[in-house]
Structure 1
Amino acid sequence: MKISVLLALAAHVVVAGWGIRPAAAQKARTTAPQARGGRTSESAPLAALFEAYWEGQARLFPLNATSEGDNRYNDQLPNDQTQAFRQRLRAFYQQYQAALRKMDRRQLSAADQTSYDILAYDLDLSLARLQQNAWLLPFSQTSGLPSLLGQLGAGTGAQPFATTQDYRNWLGRVQGFPVWADSAISNFRRGARAGVVLPRVLVEKMIPQLESFVVADASKSLFYGPVARFPAAVPAPEQPALVAAYRRAIEQELVPSYRKLAQYLKTEYLPQARATSGLNAVPGGAQRYAFAVRSATTTDQTPAQIHQTGLREVQRIRTGMEQLRQQVGFAGDLSAFFEFMRTDPQFRPFKTADEVLTVYRGIQARISPGLPRLFGTTPKTAFEVRRTEAFREATASAQYNRAAPDGSRPGIFYVPIPDPAQYNVTRGMDALFLHEAIPGHHYQIALQQENTRLPRFRRFGGYAAYTEGWGLYAESLGRELGVYTDPYQQVGALTTEMHRAVRLVVDTGLHTGELTREQAIRYMLDNMPINEQRATAEIERYMANPGQALSYKIGALKIQELRTRYEQQLGARFSLRAFHDELLAGGAMPLAVLERRMDAWAARQK
């Protein structure tokens, strides 16, 4: 059997609310601005409210502001682990909720009604989030400020290091980390007293992550990177003082804080960590999970309903895999077929990370000729494929990071390649690129940011059900874009789709107590050609981020449902290109708001 070297299992690291807005924290991403004309709102009072709301959020969440290219607060790191901060947030959301309700929605244009509905949803969700006790679990092995600081401070992420002031800004931001770390430990302790603790297997992963930041020589620190390579805009006479200041920050603020966090988790928290897997096992867990499901899917579907959807989708996709197994002439059953794809050397052809990256860059070249047939509007934002940074590569998933709005940083598709020799092409490299890069997240997020007609809370906001739903739907465009041309590429595409269907089953199973960690791992292995190490990492990710994994499939099913509906309603009047353009034009939004907007579009086509 021969294989085309192209195919990978898409997954994400999702940063969830440590110094960043939860509603907009569906990934750290960005884009170069492109004026598309028009006003952000036809109602001046509403536009002023939107702008004031956005300005307030930038002050409250300076890390998000940095990610979005707003550099006014690059020296700030608020302590979002305190009750005072949560109270400040509650007052802020209530203030804008009251102001929005004073607006007469019926008198607004259709575009403003959509913005009104999105902000109303945002505010309701944000206030409901503050009623949860998530603050008792400050971070995990997959997300949180300790790892996010590493991405920002390495000098290659969203935090700019182009001028002397940029360098000073980072020093100011770092000063806030020791008190944040102390507050996080305090919250972990309060959680332990209340019985709200992380699973032990997750804590065991967090400790070495934190310890990796503890170095004896400051020049060996990840955070030394910016002063190891100064840009031309930083005058040479100023560089020695900056080097000394960065050494002090590493030795006196960063390393001690990471050491303290690691030591606390190892000696005090780990013995109190729980053996159970799901959120249902902690006080208030069932209610918290119900909220997590609502937040991730932007629907009112229950965990039980989503679980049943997952079972149906798993069975449908297995049928497709069985057909492809027969097509390639493999004699064994589907489990044996999975084992063959996991272990046969022909599916691991790489010797270096550059070879892996070259394949992904080649996919971009192959799909480019077909894109104009499917999209009338495409982003002008620059795009790159990069290997994931070493400090987080072992636990990271493939990920898209948005560009800077001013064009100073491109959109980046990060690919973790801890061991190139083990990088298996049957994960579905084609599908992964379509999802994470083009026409998936890069198209959706770049177009959203470039659309200056949108109020800023929409240009830079996000909903996982929409964003990840679009990414998964984008995978289904592979045939129309000239990939998935041999059976193994098609198996790879089905594997990535199966991954999202399995998530509906295991996430709901884990957090309602129907499945243990071990049973969830076994279910994933039984339905996907991945090894136990990867399946374990995936299941532990769902344990750490309840509900988030549901967003992909629920969102994609809604988008596909809308496409099928309009194809049937409009017949020859249906244009797939126009459908895609309209779907992306308004940016991310809750699925119910999206459906109303798209139904109005379909009515206009008639």
Structure 2
Amino acid sequence: MKKITLLLLTITALHSCKQEPKKEESSNVSADFAALLDNYYEDGLKLNPLNATTAGDHRYDDVFTNFLSDEFAAKSKAHFENYKNKLATFSDESLTKSEQMSKAILAWECDINLNEFNFNANLTPIDQMWSPNLFMGQLASGSSAQPFATVEDYENWMKRVDGYLEWMSSAEEKMREGMAKGHVLPKSLIKKVLPQLQSLTATDLDKHLFYQPIKNLPDSFTEDEKATLAEAYKSMVNNKVIPAYQKLHDFMSDEYSKAGRESSGIQGEPDGDAYYAHQIKKYTTTNMTAAEIHDLGLSEVARIRSEMEKIKEQVGFEGDLKAFFDFVRNNKELMPYSDPQQVIDNFNAIHDRMKPQIEKLFDVKPKTPFEVRRTEAFREKSASAEYNPGSLDGTRPGIFYTPIPEVSKYNVYSDESLFLHEAIPGHHYQISLTQESDELPKFRKTLWYSGYGEGWALYSESLGTELGLYTDPYQLFGMLGAEMHRAVRLVVDTGLHSKEWTREEAIQYSLDNEAESEASIVSEIERYMANPGQALSYKIGQLKIIELREKAKTALGDNFDVRQFHNQVLETGCVPLALLESKIDNWIKENS
């Protein structure tokens, strides 16, 4: 395994045994530092009220910030500069080890966010996968993080929608500016956005997503309240929402489509190389270059192919590996379902099979409940499986969403590894334990670093055998396929954004090296096109966690306890990978 080169982040207490400051002085400094962290968190919620709603904090449920406005840009920049300056007034020597970790993380946050202002990402504000309009669709359904339990909740949502429609109008303005400056989406991505917008121009009120909360009005509401809200939502949808979506759809289907770029990668935009370097750093939390990551991807693809060959031989398939990919993709025995609920039931059955083994690897488990749900219809065709965190107080469950656009074509071969990644012990354990921690300051409970978060989830896939799964060779192949999928990402993401690969070249490379369906691969490649660098985080983080486990196992010998190792990795919450490595190194020294 190639060693991942990490950022040089200095945390004095993690590398030395300097004397702690006197108690009284330390207490005052700790109080001031804790106040700084709390203020950063609270100010951050005001900047982005959607984060508050997602965390279960409903003070700002009526607000949708226009992230595209000049006013927001100025406030945001001042926010990070202000806290970066305040942070510099605290010396490492005056802080505890835990506080030093928080200081290093907050410094990272400020720097990476400030660097974002050097680029023009807001000139392509809408895509088919990542943009705020898709999350607002989830909230509009009435079954996500936005509450619809009181009359005030229903009124809050109408106010939030007003702010959201202002953002939609600004999005068109920004895209027009982007057209003038050479920052536009590839034509293939524009085609995927259009049906998403068009679906919300439908005039059948009962089927409109933004009217759904009215169909589930609480019984506790009076008849007058129900009638008033129903009329208000009817007016909101017919007179505001549908016209706004129609206007944006018409613009993107005509002028914007004509201006869409032919290039597939970010190199097709001004300052594309510099922006991609920023994205790599943001998502992997390393200083690796695109060239280094591309080479790492090629070596990982070769290694995993050799493991796949063994599975192919085990099941007695005659033919080359590419033919085996086609066989697995199209094997009707691996597409056994006729009802979407059967897919959900299968994931729940996977959970039941692994429950007896989970305590062998984890002695700390989250209290937050967990559910498997089908992805909402309006975004299902372009969506990947995903995890949405529960609320900070644990009252809203963590949800594993799985898209099932055509149940008769749903292939189960990778379901075990998918559940381990998105659900348990992947994102559900990692995020829920962070949110439930009594030790972490609030701002660290909702942080997300893909290198760590997605790295942990991919690492979790490798635990299947220890958890009593992968007894079927096709499910083991599914795990290898999922790992190959992430290794391929290293190659195609860097290929698209630093080597001028076309969309079609990236699709073909994926088809040649993994067993995903062609439709799924096309969706994935377009996902990478929409958010350069994000796809790199999974494999980079996984390799680092595997490396750290092997290091600890070698150093500690019989004293190595995998449950304690997992505690060490999970208890800090999401952190840049260099900080995680420093923490594990320190733990090894203390236990050697």
Whether these two folds match at TM > 0.5 is: yes
Amino acid at match of 1:471: A
Amino acid at match of 2:79: F
Q: What secondary structure does 2:119 align onto?
A: coil
Residue 556 of structure 1: which of 528, 531, 542 is its match? 542
The answer to whether structure 1 residue 452 and structure 2 residue 472 are counterparts is no
The answer to whether structure 1 residue 595 and structure 2 residue 581 are counterparts is yes
* TM-score of the superposed pair, with normalisation by structure 2: 0.94
- What residue in structure 2 maps to residue 178 of structure 1? 165
- What residue in structure 1 maps to residue 461 of structure 2? 475
Amino acid at match of 1:590: P
CA contact (8 A) 1:360 1:429 kept: yes
Alpha-carbon distance in structure 1 between the residues aligned to 2:290 and 2:560: 35
CA contact (8 A) 1:40 1:452 kept: no
The answer to whether structure 1 residue 135 and structure 2 residue 137 are counterparts is no
In the comparison of the two structures, how many residue pairs are matched?
567
- What residue in structure 2 maps to residue 272 of structure 1? 259
The answer to whether structure 1 residue 403 and structure 2 residue 390 are counterparts is yes
Alpha-carbon distance in structure 2 between the residues aligned to 1:42 and 1:591: 27
CA contact (8 A) 1:351 1:421 kept: yes
**What does 1:291-306 align with in structure 2 at a 5 Å threshold?**
291-306=278-293
Q: Deviations over 1:133-172 (max 9, x none)?
A: 1011111011212211110111011101111111111011
**What does 1:326-365 align with in structure 2 at a 5 Å threshold?**
326-365=313-352
How far does residue 511 in structure 1 lie from its aligned partner after superposition? 0.4
The answer to whether structure 1 residue 281 and structure 2 residue 268 are counterparts is yes
- What residue in structure 1 maps to residue 113 of structure 2? 126
Amino acid at match of 1:533: A
Q: Deviations over 1:371-414 (max 9, x none)?
A: 11111110011001111111111111101011122333211111
**What does 1:428-447 align with in structure 2 at a 5 Å threshold?**
428-447=414-433
How far does residue 42 in structure 1 lie from its aligned partner after superposition? 7.7
Alpha-carbon distance in structure 1 between the residues aligned to 2:461 and 2:588: 23
Residue 462 of structure 1: which of 412, 436, 448 is its match? 448
Unaligned runs of 5+ in 1: 1-38
- What residue in structure 2 maps to residue 30 of structure 1? none
How far does residue 177 in structure 1 lie from its aligned partner after superposition? 2.4
Q: Deviations over 1:328-373 (max 9, x none)?
A: 1111111111111111211111111111111100000011111111
Alpha-carbon distance in structure 1 between the residues aligned to 2:328 and 2:28: 53
CA contact (8 A) 1:177 1:254 kept: no
Amino acid at match of 1:102: T
How far does residue 104 in structure 1 lie from its aligned partner after superposition? 1.3
Unaligned runs of 5+ in 2: 1-25
- What residue in structure 2 maps to residue 485 of structure 1? 471
Amino acid at match of 1:588: C
Residue 525 of structure 2: which of 539, 543, 553 is its match? 539
Q: What secondary structure does 1:511 align onto?
A: helix
The answer to whether structure 1 residue 422 and structure 2 residue 413 are counterparts is no
CA contact (8 A) 1:411 1:442 kept: yes
Residue 508 of structure 1: which of 475, 494, 497 is its match? 494
How far does residue 444 in structure 1 lie from its aligned partner after superposition? 0.4
Residue 234 of structure 2: which of 233, 241, 247 is its match? 247
Alpha-carbon distance in structure 2 between the residues aligned to 1:392 and 1:441: 21
Amino acid at match of 1:468: E
Alpha-carbon distance in structure 2 between the residues aligned to 1:225 and 1:543: 32
CA contact (8 A) 1:281 1:513 kept: no
CA contact (8 A) 1:188 1:197 kept: yes
Alpha-carbon distance in structure 2 between the residues aligned to 1:425 and 1:126: 39
CA contact (8 A) 2:64 2:163 kept: yes
Q: Deviations over 1:472-525 (max 9, x none)?
A: 000000000000012111111100000000000000000013421111000100
CA contact (8 A) 1:197 1:273 kept: yes
Alpha-carbon distance in structure 1 between the residues aligned to 2:102 and 2:315: 50
- What residue in structure 1 maps to residue 353 of structure 2? 366
Greater RCO structure (CA 8 Å; 6+ sep)? 1
CA contact (8 A) 2:493 2:528 kept: yes
Alpha-carbon distance in structure 1 between the residues aligned to 2:36 and 2:331: 59
Amino acid at match of 1:287: A
CA contact (8 A) 1:400 1:441 kept: yes
Q: What secondary structure does 1:385 align onto?
A: strand
- What residue in structure 2 maps to residue 4 of structure 1? none
How far does residue 534 in structure 1 lie from its aligned partner after superposition? 1.3
- What residue in structure 1 maps to residue 568 of structure 2? 582
Q: Deviations over 1:16-66 (max 9, x none)?
A: xxxxxxxxxxxxxxxxxxxxxxx9998000000001111100101001110
The answer to whether structure 1 residue 167 and structure 2 residue 158 are counterparts is no
Q: Deviations over 1:82-117 (max 9, x none)?
A: 122111111111111000000112111111111111
- What residue in structure 1 maps to residue 137 of structure 2? 150
Greater alpha carbon shift after TM alignment, 52-61 vs 592-601? 592-601
Q: What secondary structure does 2:128 align onto?
A: coil
Alpha-carbon distance in structure 1 between the residues aligned to 2:339 and 2:214: 29
CA contact (8 A) 1:146 1:210 kept: no
Amino acid at match of 1:228: K
Alpha-carbon distance in structure 1 between the residues aligned to 2:457 and 2:207: 37
**What does 1:184-223 align with in structure 2 at a 5 Å threshold?**
184-223=171-210
Given the superposition, is the C-alpha separation of residues 458 and 280 from structure 1 closer, same or farther in structure 2, using an over 3 Å criterion? same
Q: Deviations over 1:167-194 (max 9, x none)?
A: 1110110111232112111110111101
Given the superposition, is the C-alpha separation of residues 174 and 352 from structure 1 closer, same or farther in structure 2, using an over 3 Å criterion? same
* TM-score of the superposed pair, with normalisation by structure 1: 0.92
CA contact (8 A) 2:367 2:394 kept: no
Alpha-carbon distance in structure 1 between the residues aligned to 2:263 and 2:309: 35
- What residue in structure 1 maps to residue 15 of structure 2? none
Amino acid at match of 1:385: V
Alpha-carbon distance in structure 1 between the residues aligned to 2:266 and 2:308: 33
Alpha-carbon distance in structure 1 between the residues aligned to 2:434 and 2:82: 27
RMSD: 1.4
How far does residue 549 in structure 1 lie from its aligned partner after superposition? 0.3
Alpha-carbon distance in structure 2 between the residues aligned to 1:286 and 1:419: 38
Residue 494 of structure 1: which of 472, 480, 483 is its match? 480
Alpha-carbon distance in structure 1 between the residues aligned to 2:28 and 2:98: 8
Greater alpha carbon shift after TM alignment, 375-384 vs 339-348? 339-348
Alpha-carbon distance in structure 2 between the residues aligned to 1:354 and 1:281: 43
Amino acid at match of 1:181: M
CA contact (8 A) 2:368 2:395 kept: no
Alpha-carbon distance in structure 2 between the residues aligned to 1:573 and 1:81: 53
Greater alpha carbon shift after TM alignment, 433-442 vs 208-217? 208-217
